[in-house]
Amino acid sequence: MTKRATDVIGLPVVSADTGKKLGKVVDLLLDENGTELVGLLVKHGVLQQEHVLPAAAVQSLGPDAVVSRTEELIGAKSWRVRQATQARQSPRGESS
């Protein structure tokens, strides 16, 4: 089933392992071509810190919640560093 971004943004993210609420989806992260979902930007906690739930960790996108396979979220800063490192290591990211 196809989902719109507006159907996902605002949903709570819940861990399948523990049932713990991990936060709320605030944005979708797409690949550089804008064609593939690579993660969900999730805010949680009192300070509303941003973390990323990689698309591979999403168990399901339901009408009432996003279910994550685990409780593990990646800090937004760490995610950006990881993505930059992968881009440099990919053939398209290498300079000749």
**Cα 68 to chain centroid, rounded:** 10
Confidence category of residue 22, pLDDT binned at 50, 70, 90? very high
Express each pLDDT in 57-88 by its tens digit. Answer: 999 999 999 999 988 888 887 878 887 787 77
Report phi then psi at 11, rounded to 5.
-75, 145
- The domains located in the chain, with CATH, are 5-93 (2.30.30.240)
Average pLDDT over the chain reads 86
Give the residue-averaged pLDDT of 10-29. Answer: 95
Rounded to whole angstroms, how far apart are CA atoms 21 and 24?
8
The percentage of the chain sitting over the pLDDT mark of 70, rounded to a whole number, equals 93
